Amino acid sequence: MTRRLSAAGAALALSAGILTATSTQAAAQDDGEVDRLLVATDQEVDTFNPFKSRYIITYETNLMTYDTLIRTGAENYEPVPGLASEWQESDDGLTWTFTIREGVEWSDGESLTAEDVAYTYDLLISDPAIHDWNIDFAGNLVSAEAPDDTTFVLTLKEAAPAEVLNAGIFIVPKHIWETYPDPSADDANDRMPLVGSGPFQVSEYRANELVRLEANEEYWDGAPGFDEIVYDYYSEGDAAVAALEAGEVDLVRGLNPAQMEALEGQDHVTVNNAQGRRFVSLILNHGAQTADGELYGDGHPALRDPVVRQALHTAIDKAELVDKVLDGNGDPAVSIIPAIFEQWHWDGGDELVQFSIDEANRLLDEAGYERGEDGIRTMPGGGDPLSFRFYHHADYTDYANVVQFVTEWWEELGLEIVSEPIEQGSLNDLVYLGEYDIAFSGWGVGPNPTEMLAMHTCEVLPTTTDGSERSHENFYCNEEYDALHEQQVVEPDPEARAELVREQQRILYQDAPVIWLYYQNVLEAYNHERVDDFTVQPAEGGMITGQQGFIWSFLSATPVGGEDDGGVSTGVLMGAGAVLLVLVAGGAFLFMRRRSTADERE
């Protein structure tokens, strides 16, 4: 037995030695001719039809394949020229005139004119399916025209400056799209390589294997530094981290604090801990209702009282949550618009709620929620006890940790907290049916604050009680808030608009239908021996991945070193040859072993 084991050990060590020599070369090196940026991803592709795609990965491939008229700046999310070098808004805000850059070419060599732009915007108006799918923007369009090759004129039903500036409509080539039998079909735009005018075009897609984009060397804003970008699939975050450590992938996003810590110790890895666009919040069932004001669901009546909601808010130490749950990788949240959008963010000022269990207790005492014999408060006049169901997503360990801290604080207020982890789909169902008291929510916020703020307007309240209408966050409706919302949507002056947007945030904060807990940092890491010069967004402490309105980072990124000369094919061949060798050796070993056992058994 021992003899055989040592023989096996020797065989393994020998084959491992051969393999190490060959396949590290195979795995780590690239073919010398193509500079390729490998980005780890785990997201499926929905569709390459830019009018229909909704996933983050296709948002990014669209941003690279196509141009938009106006980009979102790398500096501070401000609107900056894209395909349109300048634009002019009429006094009534209904007519927008864009000047389209001259000399821009599609990736197939045809020239791009205002005619292509008009064709694209006209699809939003006249193709019924594309119109419906993009109704929030398309519903406001009247006409799209190109009086000459460099002028594009867009007419609106109602003034909506922020919507036009942030529309991010991907301009598609008319000469290609005209040949599509149905431009709204999900598979309409599947012929590779895609034709666009952006810095990289999607050239190959293998479901759950890779998405390949090739550089547009003639890009009007300068040729990209890399020849190719490849999104490579890693369904497990830990596998992506291992691949970054092993040099198999260059950029990994969505790290957790433990992974980031492990990567910080690697010489070839740079970790980027960037301020994030995402908030995590607690939504309170302050009274589920339909647009007609019909109350439904089974939320606890105490949560309809703003005093109770504000007491809950006062008894949360957000700084402690950031420190303990996020390991410091985030910031305590105040309002619905994260601090990263400093032009829109409301920071609380003098009205900022300070953590105090005593103050929270005082609020509840004054409002008449007295403690019963068991220490649990009851409704004023000795009604039901204040016992709240607290639902969190079963697959988010962060949320489970938050629940532990918060429950402890709230129990000091004389509240009974019944927490329960629930699978995401069921949790959403319960929330929209109004069958919860307190639950988690979280959103990644974009540069246009309207998207988030609109979720708290009366207009999006459900018309039925079946929980199927889900455009609202948690049944909020407030006329004063709505009036501000209508003003800010049409306000052309950014400063004046910011005032209105901040006032909206203040109302939400005071009324507390939602308690914003923290803004989560973006944790990402890259191999600086392979890639450098990422432009981050925003300029100060910004992120590489998850950029909005244009992917500045991938355009500016440049390959580092030029050490590759062996060529991957020989490396792989040798590595695979070694595997074959091991298999043959293993087979021979087994065969011999079998012979020897047979002899022994004689």
**What CA–CA distance (Å, rounded) separates 83 from 171?**
9
| Contact with another protein (CB under 8 A) among 356, 404, 464, 468 | 468
Task: Give, for 95, the enclosing helix (H) or strand (E).
Answer: strand 95-100
In whole angstroms, the minimum distance from the beta carbon of 405 to another protein comes to: 26
| Contact with another protein (CB under 8 A) among 239, 357, 490, 581 | 239
What DSSP string runs through 72-92?
Answer: EPTTTS-EEESSEEEEEE-TT
In whole angstroms, the minimum distance from the beta carbon of 311 to another protein comes to: 29
In the block, which residue shows the tokens 């780590």? 28
| Residue 429 within binding range of another protein, rule CB under 8 A | yes
The total of other beta-carbon atoms located within 10 Å of residue 449's CB is 25
Q: Measured from the CB atom, is 26 or 315 closer to another protein?
A: 26
| Contact with another protein (CB under 8 A) among 223, 455, 458, 507 | 455
Segment near another protein (CB under 8 A); pick from 361-369, 381-389, 512-520, 571-579? 571-579
| Residue 563 within binding range of another protein, rule CB under 8 A | no
In whole angstroms, the minimum distance from the beta carbon of 225 to another protein comes to: 18
| Residue 57 within binding range of another protein, rule CB under 8 A | no
Task: Give, for 6, the enclosing helix (H) or strand (E).
Answer: helix 2-28
Q: Measured from the CB atom, is 404 or 597 closer to another protein?
A: 597
Tokens of 387: 């016992």
| Contact with another protein (CB under 8 A) among 3, 54, 222, 493 | 54
Whether 57 contacts 229, CB under 8 Å: no
| Residue 268 within binding range of another protein, rule CB under 8 A | no
| Residue 526 within binding range of another protein, rule CB under 8 A | no
Mask for 19-38, x = binds another protein (CB under 8 A):
xx--xx-xxx-xx--x-x-x
| Residue 67 within binding range of another protein, rule CB under 8 A | no
Query: Which residue(s) pair with 88 in the sheet?
Result: 97
DSSP code for 209: T
DSSP code for 303: G
**What CA–CA distance (Å, rounded) separates 302 from 210?**
51
- Coil vs helix vs strand at 13: helix
Residue 268: phi and psi, rounded to 5, are -95, 5
Q: Measured from the CB atom, is 45 or 321 closer to another protein?
A: 45
What DSSP string runs through 336-360?
Answer: SS-TTSTTT----GGGPPPP-HHHH
Residues 160-219 touching another protein, rule: CB under 8 A, are 186-187, 206-210, 212
Q: Measured from the CB atom, is 136 or 347 closer to another protein?
A: 136
Tokens of 469: 């209408």
- Coil vs helix vs strand at 538: coil
| Residue 486 within binding range of another protein, rule CB under 8 A | no
Q: Measured from the CB atom, is 167 or 406 closer to another protein?
A: 167
Residues 115-134 touching another protein, rule: CB under 8 A, are 129, 132-134
In whole angstroms, the minimum distance from the beta carbon of 234 to another protein comes to: 5
